Amino acid sequence: MALIVQKFGGSSLASAEHIRSVAKIVAQARQKGHRVAVVVSAMGGETDRLLDLAGEITPAQPERELDALLATGEQASAALLAIALQNIDIPARSYLGLQLPLLTDGQHTRAHIIKLSTAELKKTLEQEIVPVVAGFQGVSPGGDITTLGRGGSDTSAVALAAALQAHCCEIHSDVDGVYTADPAICPQARHLRRISYGEMLEMADMGAKILQIRSVELARKFKVPLLIKSSFGSDKCTWILEEDKRDMESAVISGIIISHNEAKMSVIRVPDRPGIAYQILSPLAEAGINVDMIIQNASIDGYTDFTFTVPKAELSTTTALVNEVIPKIGARALSTDDGIVKVSAVGLGIKNRPGVAARMFQVLADEGINIQMISTSDIRLSCIIEAKYGELAVRVLHDAFDLEINNNLNAIKQQKLDPPM
């Protein structure tokens, strides 16, 4: 008998019928002899409904009240799921963050967890009652409701699994796992049965949109095995686990990811003096704008072009900030481009195989795709290219790194590596 934390996302809880289905998933885990603690998101669409309501009152909402408002979504779905569980004779009790309590640092709308008290939860579990915890929410040291940011229920679930020393944390949504590429773009995309925390962090960051990135960081820190599952009837799933030395020997690349969230900005003809990068970027840092890639061209005649990427949603804010800087530093102009995508190859093998980058550039060149910017990490290689080539790039890279062919080999290997369930 193991203790399992099951987290259900909004799409899994979008209606009364969905909630009844989720109750059956919990029942199945119990029938296998497991104890189950559940964490829920708000019902699909509910958070947006509440945000719309607040938006109709004023566009500038005080964060303390926004947190109190949004927390109702998870409270309602926790109560509804507890009702659905009891309806099929599974004892259940809903809990608010305030009731556990899940103590946070008090930063409204983006709080971090300080401490999760497990006394009440353990008592409930020992009585064979399923605790159904409202995700996303906690309480500040002063007793205010705080939320963990969009997707925060994933982080709540991992925190619960860590605090209860659960066997694993299952993340149920409408996604049945991680693929070597987006199947909608690349029909050959292969489902991965396991992936390392590190790879998942790089992939989630690229917009894989499977779970909140912070939850993967937390899972890695506390060594909580994560399982990505669909609540819509697929038997596939992906384990997110620690790196395994044996992984190094097989797949170099685990997946090809495309991100449409980037915009490129070039400050043209900047006088090439020390401190220019600081002058351009520090106002953005102060405004909380996350600059990803940065390139400074070689200087010609004492002038250079300074290029960087920011999230597309921040394009207009960034444009305003940079336009203020331009006259001060004596640059000529700002050019912006949101017609770009970032295509990335992610894999543990990258760090040990120097040829991987060269292969990536060659494959893109063979298709006549111009690489505008490049960035790398130990386990990631990313290229900014023109948006219209994005899908093509994913397909040719997927093919070039033999991601489809690894299928059988990996399936056998992974079977052996799966955690005991």
User: Which of 102, 87, 76 lies closest to 10, judged by CA?
Assistant: 76
CB of 107 to a second copy, least distance (A): 17
Amino acid at site 411: A
Nearer to a second copy, 80 or 284 (CB): 80
Least Å from the CB of residue 160 to a second copy: 18
**CB nearer a second copy, residue 124 or residue 406:** 124
**Considering beta carbons, is residue 39 or 228 the nearer one to a second copy?**
39
Residues 6+ apart with CB under 8 A from 400: 359, 360, 363
The gap from C-alpha 120 to its chain's centroid, in whole angstroms, comes to: 30
| Residues at the site binding a second copy, with contacts judged by CB under 8 A | 15-17, 19-20, 50, 53-54, 56-58, 60-62, 64-66, 68-69, 71-73, 75-76, 78-80, 82-84, 86-87, 92-94, 96, 98-99, 120, 143, 145
- 247 phi, psi to nearest 5 deg: -60, -35
Nearest distance from residue 238's CB to a second copy, in Å? 30
Minimum distance from residue 227 beta carbon to a second copy (Å): 26
Residue whose C-alpha is closest to residue 10's, from 123, 171, 121: 171
Nearer to a second copy, 36 or 96 (CB): 96
Q: Are strands 237-241 and 262-271 parallel, antiparallel or unpaired?
A: unpaired
CB of 65 to a second copy, least distance (A): 4
Distance CA 96, CA 225 (A): 25
- Residue 60 or 184 having the CB closest to a second copy: 60
Task: State which residue, 101 or 207, has the beta carbon closest to a second copy.
Answer: 101
Least gap, CB of 234 to a second copy (angstroms): 24
